[in-house]
Amino acid sequence: MAKKRSGVSIDEKLLKDLKVFLKKQGYKSRSHLIEELLNAWIRERKWEREKKEVYAVFIMVYEHEKRQVSKKLLEKGHRHYDEIISTLHIHIDEKNCLEITVLKGRPGHIRKISDELSATRGIKYGKLIRV
């Protein structure tokens, strides 16, 4: 594929971190990494416009005793029983839970549920992955 040069302005600190990362990960060129990141970013957004049903996985970590998060997640899960296919719950330690939820539905709807789950107060980490 033909390559075209494009100048971008990047925060100095971010550029420094990028250089360290490139060295550690063994990336030969900054352009190659930026291309990979952009492709992943575009791919991630493209599927959200698809009309057909898709599968996705939502991963989250939370402290089950904080802010009634378990109760809120349970309520949200029941509200979206049609799209939530299955949930795997792992007690990481005394406080923290890891939950992996499999979703099936229209991409826009899946994104909405994911945003709703992420917005639950007490969630430490939440990530949606299209499979």
Out of 60, 73, 97, 103, the residue judged to bind Ni ion by CB under 5 A: 97
Q: Which listed range, 29-37, 43-51, 91-99, 119-127, lies at the site for Ni ion (CB under 5 A)? A: 91-99
Identity (one letter) of the amino acid at 9?
Answer: S
Query: In terms of CB distance, is 19 or 71 closer to Ni ion?
Result: 71
Residues 6 or more apart whose Cβ sits within 8 Å of residue 91: 97
Specify the residue for token string 């029941």: 78
The residue (of 32 and 91) whose beta carbon lies closer to Ni ion is 91
Residue with Cβ nearer Ni ion (48 or 63):
63
β-pair partners for 101: 58, 87
Task: Round to whole Å and give the CA distance between 58 and 45.
Answer: 16
Cα(76)–Cα(72) distance, rounded to whole angstroms? 6
Residue closer to Ni ion by CB (options 27, 68) is 68
Which range of residues in 18-26, 53-61, 80-88, 89-97 is near Ni ion by CB under 5 A? 89-97
At residue 51, what is the residue type? K
The single residue among 67, 91, 95, 127 that binds Ni ion, judged by CB under 5 A, is: 91
Question: Which positions touch Ni ion (CB under 5 A)?
Answer: 91, 97
